[in-house]
Structure 1
Amino acid sequence: MGDSGDSVKQEKKVVFVTVGTTLFDALVRTVDTKEVKQELLRKGYTDLVIQMGRGSYTPTKCDGGHGSLAVDYFTFSPSIADHLRSASLVISHAGSGSVFETLQLGKPLIVVVNEDLMDNHQSELAEELAERKHLYCAHPQTLHQTISDMNVESLLPYPSGDATPLAKLMNTFLGFPDD
């Protein structure tokens, strides 16, 4: 075998952060804080990839290395699905597209609610899914605590392919009668 240092080299565990097409500097700024990065490291994550959308806040790039998280970012990408697929954890805004794409891939998910949005049907949806244990729901100021407390093993898989519960949920939020 010899000592090739393989035991030290841990596998990449990527945290992918997405704000979709929204402006959500509060989320980007939060994942760029020392508190959040330390919690992610403590949980065994190695890389942080941030899709920052139209935000004006630029996160700090870092190559990783000794006891630090490798951080990279971009604004938009045609291949968000690839990023989601290669992620070990997804931290997303509450947009239903990002949320359901992530759940269908069976990835652990923390949805961060954007308090600056007036119409917060999205956060109601996220909170409902969090109650059903499909994801974690956080606010920018509680994100590090959510990461600290989360146990991704305890999340329940989202029943993929069955849109009925989802349709019912959406109708409830939009005020349509349940037929």
Structure 2
Amino acid sequence: MKRAFVTVGTTSFDELIECVAAYDSLQILKSLGYNRLVLQIGRGTVVPEPFSSDSFTLDVYRFKDSLNEDLQQADLVISHAGAGSCLESLEKGKPLVVVINEKLMNNHQFELAKQLHKEGHLFYCTCSTLRGLLQSMDLSTLKCYPPGQPEKFSAFLDKVVGLQK
């Protein structure tokens, strides 16, 4: 059973939820072998109707204390471009498609997605190009995101504040 997980974090991104829950998108996901789609819709006003059939299940929720379980079980993560959501998915080694919200002003999220794509860690698109990307992407080309090294940051900070030379 292959599972796709969509997250918008604590925000609302109704356009993404509408797009991914649309019949055409569900058909594409089915054709790619996914039989379950879990939508974390945040504060959005678009609330797709959950359903379950022999071949496909759609689950919907707003918030959970932790997305850890959904991320762990996902074979594909489709996310808004929030730094926390992106890095959490990548650190878990999950294939990631980031969908840019074009309605945000001064879109720093686009810069993050563009850089992580350039480094080969994720694919990115907009709602209008999501379906095409899903059909054309090759997840095997993605590179693993290197784990964080908090000890390096700690040593750097110690130097900056004069605790270490």
Q: Give the alignment's TM-score, normalised by structure 1.
A: 0.80
User: What CA deviation, in whole Å up to 9, does each residue of 1:106-157 have, x standing for no partner?
Assistant: 0000000011111311111101111221001010011111110111111111
User: Are the equivalent residues in 2 in contact too, given 1:64–1:71 (CA < 8 A)?
Assistant: no
Q: Secondary structure at the match of 1:15?
A: strand
Out of 47, 57, 72, the residue aligned to residue 58 of structure 1 is 47
Q: CA deviation at 1:162?
A: 4.6
> Which amino acid in structure 2 is aligned with residue 16 of structure 1?
F
User: Are the equivalent residues in 2 in contact too, given 1:92–1:98 (CA < 8 A)?
Assistant: yes
Specify every segment of 5 or more residues in structure 2 that has no aligned partner in the other structure, as ranges: 151-165
Q: Report what 2:148 is aligned to.
A: 161
> What is the percentage of aligned positions where both structures have the same residue?
43
In angstroms, what is the RMSD of aligned CA positions? 1.2
The 5-angstrom pairing of residues 1-179 of structure 1 reads: 12-66=1-55, 69-162=56-149
Cα distance in structure 1, aligned partners of 2:95 and 2:8: 16
Q: Secondary structure at the match of 1:46?
A: strand
Cα distance in structure 1, aligned partners of 2:121 and 2:53: 30
Aligned residues: 150
User: Are the equivalent residues in 2 in contact too, given 1:32–1:60 (CA < 8 A)?
Assistant: no
User: Are the equivalent residues in 2 in contact too, given 1:14–1:45 (CA < 8 A)?
Assistant: yes
**Off by >2 Å, runs of 4+ in structure 1:** none
Cα distance in structure 1, aligned partners of 2:65 and 2:2: 22
> Which amino acid in structure 2 is aligned with residue 151 of structure 1?
D
Q: Report what 2:159 is aligned to.
A: none
Q: Give the alignment's TM-score, normalised by structure 2.
A: 0.87
Q: Secondary structure at the match of 1:71?
A: strand
